[in-house]
Structure 1
């Protein structure tokens, strides 16, 4: 079995490669760790491999805020430098610098 190494880290701002949303990573699963129902709800032609890191995001799009669970293959670094407006970001993280939130919020 291949060992997965996460490309992204907690606090990093990322965007989805296909869908128009972005978010900040607050947790990482080294391999798929969600329900079978969730996995099977993804159309087969778009279903990602389970043997890669999956990321929990405080996500936002143009109309809402939510929590997303996304495979590494579907994420890219967000290069805008813009903060993520999700209301829970301030509860979990400190300041945004160079595309990454510091983890001060996690220590309180």
Structure 2
């Protein structure tokens, strides 16, 4: 199943009410069974995409099932200390990944 969201997209977590930016995508759940049992309390499907997200106004990053994310209409920039590690451009709507040197 293709991912609904993309790297650099600003999203909204509909269960925990936070904004963030996607920095990675796993086609299916890829953390440990222990993590799933203890953190994924709503038991989202493992066979759908999961996203690595930097949380706005926080030092946290999270791992989120696709079903818990919504497109975010607030296009203000994300405030996270690792933003520059992943991205080097923001066009007012999305972030663009840093180009890898050849």
- In structure 2, stretches of 5+ residues that fail to align are none
**Aligned with residue 100 of structure 2, among 82, 85, 107:** 107
Structure 1 CA distance for aligned equivalents of residues 94 and 79 of structure 2: 14
1:66 aligns with 2:60: yes
- In the TM superposition, 1:3-42 aligns within 5 A as 4-41=1-38, 42=40
Q: Any residues of structure 2 matched to 1:48-63 within 5 Å, and which?
A: 48-61=44-57
Give 3-state SS (helix, strand or coil) of 1:107's partner. Answer: coil
Q: Which ranges of 4 or more aligned residues in structure 1 deviate by more than 6 Å? A: none
Q: Return the TM-score normalized by structure 1.
A: 0.84
Query: Structure 1 regions of 5+ residues with no counterpart?
Result: none
- Equivalent residue of 1:102, what SS? strand
Do the aligned partners of 1:78 and 1:99 also contact (CA within 8 Å) in 2?
no
Which residue of 77, 85, 88 corresponds with 1:83?
A: 77
Q: Distance in 2 between matches of 1:76 and 1:102?
A: 19
Equivalent pairs counted in the alignment come to 100
